[in-house]
Amino acid sequence: KESLQIKTGAFPLKHWRLHNGRGLDFEVESGTATLSLEMQLTNKRLESDFDLALTETKVLTHSRNQRVEEIISSVARRFPTTTLHGKITGDFNDLRLHLTSSLGSALAKDIRANFNSYTQVMQTNLQDAFERFAFEKSLPLKTQIDRLKKKNLGPALSTLKALYELKASLPSPVS
């Protein structure tokens, strides 16, 4: 059995890209971090726990959907201190990593809340549209087309789609 324990004082972080792709970029531009790492190796089986605390973080976000970017930026501003806990277990042919993060949990919670809110608004709008359908069907075709052009649903639908894709890729919030 072999053991290793490492604890660091504060060290600077610069340009640590946490996510890049699928329409979302998320990077810690600057911050300060501390690390605590414990590892044990027994008969080729590794068990490791680590805690990373990020303070005074400044993040850069970019999303192809403005509403998603606003949500992420808002959460990142509310959490200038973030904790990341990780556990690595297994043998060298089958290592498993489990991560939990205070920022990730907050993001998952806010994204789900916004997705549910958007879904409810869209359901209300669709219900309203169906209720008016019978009335509008009796109008001349040109009037129907003009009314549809005025209802620009594109941005709302693209935001709903982006929130759904992001929601599907996030872990469940940790309570």
Q: What is the pLDDT of residues 61-74, one digit of tens each?
A: 888 888 888 888 88
Per mean pLDDT, which of 34-43, 94-103, 135-144 is the most reliable?
34-43
Between the CA of residue 96 and those of 38, 49, 53, 170, what are the distances in Å? Answer: 16, 12, 21, 18
d(CA 169, CA 63): 15
Query: pLDDT at residue 173 above 60?
Result: no
E-only strand ranges, the chain: 2-7, 11-21, 24-42, 45-63, 82-91, 94-101
Average pLDDT on 81-89 reads 90
Q: Count of CB atoms within 10 A of residue 114's CB?
A: 19
pLDDT of residue 60: 87
pLDDT of residue 140: 64
- More confident: 168 or 81: 81
The structure tokens 């929601």 sit at: 167
Q: Is the pTM of this model over 0.85?
A: no
d(CA 32, CA 58): 10
Per this entry, what is the length of the chain? 175
Average pLDDT on 3-9 reads 91
